[in-house]
């Protein structure tokens, strides 16, 4: 017995399948025997339209099969057309939503590409008169820092303030150290922070550019341009909270101790073991020291290198020339 499932024009699901009783009744109907409608299986034939009610004799009779098939095909094509129309309408809807997302609405504008964001940002930076706040949680390329320096120094000389935040790991990277040292000498304030923080730029508390954190990590080249006073105040508060958590940095690599080096024989051994992935307890056991002594030495290294996390300390050690010292 063949079986075909579909949804009827009323939205109900049709089951093109006949039971044994319904097949027997179909044979009777096709041979001209009317049905009362009460026979087992009659409801299946009525639902599918194979038999129809004839009021003059109060019985059900078989329909023309080819005509029924043409009607069913017509209904199916109509449903397919409705579904295609619904799909087209949905596509138009989402296209409209995508355009709306990119439009400036109540002080919030989505910048869909790097060029659009940069154009708005550079225009605002050129007109800055009071204070620029920036937070850069990702590594800045040397060429980008060079371009920024050529723009930031004249702005600082005009009296426009600059507060900028970098990750602790920046202390181990030459280009960022050089940038921090130079702008600090011209009056900028630079700090570093351990862990993740929000990437943003705030200009005179009139415009903020915030990365698009709908996806994590946030894309580098898209973001939100914000001029809405309430949201702008919130973004500024987020920056200031991050600023209070950060440690001052003037671009120095680290504070050196006697002899011109930061490390000594013991701390270099700790750092080498640390880079091999040993735990504090493993270091203490291997070096014949207490856990408290190892922790104290690591705390001193944090202070001397200007770092505040194991990740940042490891990054400093990985780039340090003191790795070449022996023992």
Is the pLDDT at 67 greater than 50, yes or no?
yes
* 151-180 pLDDT, tens digit each: 999 999 999 999 999 987 788 788 998 999
173, 114: one domain: yes
- 3 state DSSP class of 59: strand
238, 304: one domain: no
pLDDT of residue 4: 39
* 208-253 pLDDT, tens digit each: 999 888 887 788 788 899 999 899 999 999 999 999 988 888 776 5
**C-alpha–C-alpha distance, residues 44 and 62, integer Å:** 13
Residue 80 lies in a domain: no
18, 131: one domain: no
Residue 71 lies in a domain: no
pLDDT of residue 145: 93
Residue 156 lies in a domain: yes
* 81-99 pLDDT, tens digit each: 999 999 999 998 888 887 7
Residue 189 lies in a domain: yes
What CATH number did the domain enclosing 270 receive? 1.10.10.10
Is the pLDDT at 9 greater than 50, yes or no?
no
**C-alpha–C-alpha distance, residues 247 and 310, integer Å:** 16
**C-alpha–C-alpha distance, residues 242 and 149, integer Å:** 23
What CATH number did the domain enclosing 201 receive? 3.30.870.10
Residue 316 lies in a domain: yes
Residue 88 lies in a domain: no
CA distances from 162 to 1, 31, 119, 186, 189 (A): 81, 95, 20, 10, 6
Structure tokens at 273: 């073991």
Which is higher by pLDDT, 219 or 34? 34
Give the count of domains, the chain: 3
158, 223: one domain: yes
180, 201: one domain: yes
Residue 325's pLDDT band, with cuts at 50, 70 and 90, is: confident
pTM for this prediction: 0.50
Is the pLDDT at 309 greater than 70, yes or no?
yes
Residue 201 lies in a domain: yes
Mean of all residue pLDDT scores within the chain: 84
Structure tokens at 219: 């894309």
Q: What is the mean pLDDT of residues 295-313?
A: 82
113, 137: one domain: yes
Strand extents, DSSP E, the chain: 4-7, 13-16, 51-54, 59-62, 108-111, 131-135, 161-167, 189-193, 200-203, 207-211, 223-226, 247-248
Residue 134's pLDDT band, with cuts at 50, 70 and 90, is: very high
Write out the residue range of the structural domain in which residue 19 sits.
4-63
Is the pLDDT at 69 greater than 50, yes or no?
yes
284, 159: one domain: no
130, 204: one domain: yes
217, 281: one domain: no
pLDDT of residue 312: 81
120, 140: one domain: yes
């Amino acid at each position: 017995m063949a079986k075909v499932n579909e949804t009827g024009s009323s939205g109900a699901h049709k089951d093109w399948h006949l039971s044994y009783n319904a097949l027997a009744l179909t044979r009777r109907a096709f041979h001209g025997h009317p049905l009362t409608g009460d026979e087992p299986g009659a409801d299946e034939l009525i639902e599918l339209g194979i038999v129809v009610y004839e009021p003059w004799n109060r019985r059900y009779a078989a329909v023309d099969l080819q005509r029924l098939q043409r009607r069913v095909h017509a209904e199916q094509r109509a449903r397919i057309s409705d579904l295609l129309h619904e799909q087209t309408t949905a596509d138009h809807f989402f296209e409209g939503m995508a355009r709306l997302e990119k439009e400036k609405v109540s002080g919030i504008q989505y910048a869909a590409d790097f060029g659009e964001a940069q154009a708005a940002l550079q225009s605002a930076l050129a007109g800055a008169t009071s204070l620029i706040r920036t937070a850069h949680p990702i590594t800045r390329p040397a060429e980008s820092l060079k371009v920024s320096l050529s723009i930031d120094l004249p702005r600082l000389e005009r009296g426009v303030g600059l507060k900028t935040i970098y990750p602790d790991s920046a202390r181990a990277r030459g280009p960022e150290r050089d940038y921090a040292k130079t702008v600090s000498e011209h009056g900028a304030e630079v700090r570093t922070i351990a862990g993740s923080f929000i990437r943003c730029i705030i200009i005179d508390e009139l415009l903020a550019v915030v990365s698009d954190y709908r996806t994590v990590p946030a894309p580098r080249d898209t973001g939100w341009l914000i001029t809405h006073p309430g949201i702008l105040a919130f973004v500024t508060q987020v920056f200031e909270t991050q600023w209070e958590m950060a440690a001052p940095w003037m671009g120095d690599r680290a504070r050196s101790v006697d002899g011109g080096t930061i490390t000594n024989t013991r701390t270099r051994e700790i750092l080498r073991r640390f880079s091999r992935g040993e735990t504090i307890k493993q270091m203490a056991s291997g070096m014949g020291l207490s856990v408290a002594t190892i922790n104290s030495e690591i705390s001193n290294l944090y202070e001397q290198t200007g770092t505040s996390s194991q990740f940042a300390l490891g990054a400093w050690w990985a780039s340090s020339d003191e790795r070449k010292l022996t023992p």
